[in-house]
Amino acid sequence: MSQDAPQAVSYRRILVTGGTGFVGGWLTPRLAQRWPDAQLFLLRRSADLVERQGWTPVVGDLDDRDSLEHALGQTRPDLIIHLAAQASVGSSLQQTAATWDANLGGSISLAVACALHAPEATFLNVSTSEVYGASFRDGPASEDTLPRPMSAYGRSKLAAEMALLDILPATVKLITVRPFNHTGPGQDRRFVLPAFAAQIAAIEQERQPAVLQVGNLSAVREFLDVRDVVEAYIAILDHPTAFASGEILNVSSEVPLAIEEALALLRQAARCPLNIQTDPNRLRPSDIPKASGSSRKLREKTGWKPIIPLAQTLDNLLDYWRTIEAS
């Protein structure tokens, strides 16, 4: 940031949706650390028992507009961070209606409630790089790249972006982020690198044969550490006035890597030899050879850049799954 950058914002009431999930587990303590004087509200479903230290749980289902309006009427946040989503591309192939309900329907309900009860809030919408889809075939994606999503997940997240633009009042500062693949301790095995790490940990415990089931290893993707992604969100929220309302920001490592290269790092960290076997069920019909992007806008406006090496991320991920397997 330049020396004449605007003063960091101080929030009074922060509401997070999806804070009980993987990214939320890393973001919520960081928000509490950054804004220790704010009231912190964790929106969760009525049946959800997950808690975050220092956060007050507020019941509000994104598929129940009345409960959501009641939750925002209670809290009246000046910062809303919308993490909640059905976030697995693979799951979206089998659960298309549920994916649209969660990603578009939930965003519409939240926007309506925000318009009524938090009309001057800063609203950070966490979308996805999956909205670029087929456009990755033309090279790295910037924020100006035409979105051409190839899955229910990508299409529903793009539709949610459009809905928020239409429904939120002009007085709300809407900022949408499109993070690229990110991983770390706590991510479940529906995602490629935790799937590898979980299998390796089970093999080390001799709970399965030393055969690692894999999908398409030649696909090239970007992989960020979840902690670096959280720092990107904090950097944006520190200075929301640096961005126009409705602005879109990629969160990208700008370091494309073949999945087989990431797997090689995990195999090096494994405590036993591993055989590799391709599982046809792990091959996605919509895979594209290479997906990478530019986060120049974010870097120039905030000074953010990823700092955690992928090898460290994968070591931490593998240790997490070792702990799970040993318990």
pLDDT along the chain (327 residues), means of 10: 62 97 97 97 88 94 92 97 79 75 95 97 98 97 97 95 98 98 96 96 88 93 98 97 97 97 96 92 81 98 97 97 93
Within-domain flag for 215: yes
Stated as kind and residue range, the H or E segment containing 122 is strand 122-126
Q: Domain containing 27: what range?
A: 13-183+224-251
Within-domain flag for 8: no
Same domain (yes/no): 39, 179: yes
Within-domain flag for 38: yes
Within-domain flag for 7: no
Same domain (yes/no): 152, 213: no
Q: What is the CATH number of the domain that holds 216?
A: 3.90.25.10
Same domain (yes/no): 117, 25: yes
pLDDT at 7: 66
Same domain (yes/no): 128, 247: yes
Same domain (yes/no): 96, 130: yes
Same domain (yes/no): 130, 205: no
Same domain (yes/no): 163, 266: no
pLDDT at 286: 60
Same domain (yes/no): 108, 51: yes
Q: How many domains are contained in the chain? A: 2
pLDDT at 232: 98
DSSP string, 145-168: SPP---SHHHHHHHHHHHHHHHHS
Stated as kind and residue range, the H or E segment containing 24 is helix 22-34
**Residues 6 or more apart in contact with residue 23 via CB below 8 angstroms:** 83, 126, 182, 226, 229, 230
pLDDT at 1: 47
pLDDT at 6: 57
Within-domain flag for 5: no
- Nearest CA to 242 out of 177, 166, 300, 294 is that of 300
Burial class for 201, CB neighbours closer than 10 Å (0-12, 13-18, 19+): buried
Predicted model pTM: 0.94
Same domain (yes/no): 314, 245: no
**138-175 per-residue burial string, b: 16 or more CB within 10 A, e: under 16:** eebbebebebbbbbbbbbbbbbbbebbeebbeeebbbb
- Nearest CA to 295 out of 140, 167, 165, 189 is that of 140
Q: Sign (positive/negative) of CA torsion 144, 149, 153, 156?
A: positive
Within-domain flag for 30: yes
Same domain (yes/no): 200, 246: no
Same domain (yes/no): 213, 229: no
Report how far residue 202's alpha carbon sits from residue 181's, in angstroms, rounded to the nearest whole number. Answer: 24
Q: What is the CATH number of the domain that holds 129?
A: 3.40.50.720
Same domain (yes/no): 139, 265: no
- Nearest CA to 292 out of 252, 232, 233 is that of 252
**Residues 6 or more apart in contact with residue 94 via CB below 8 angstroms:** none
Residue 63 in contact with residue 105, Cβ under 8 Å?
yes
Residue 61 in contact with residue 109, Cβ under 8 Å?
no
Within-domain flag for 136: yes
The backbone region for 179, taken as left when phi is positive above 0, alpha when psi lies in -120 to 50, beta otherwise, is: beta
Within-domain flag for 153: yes
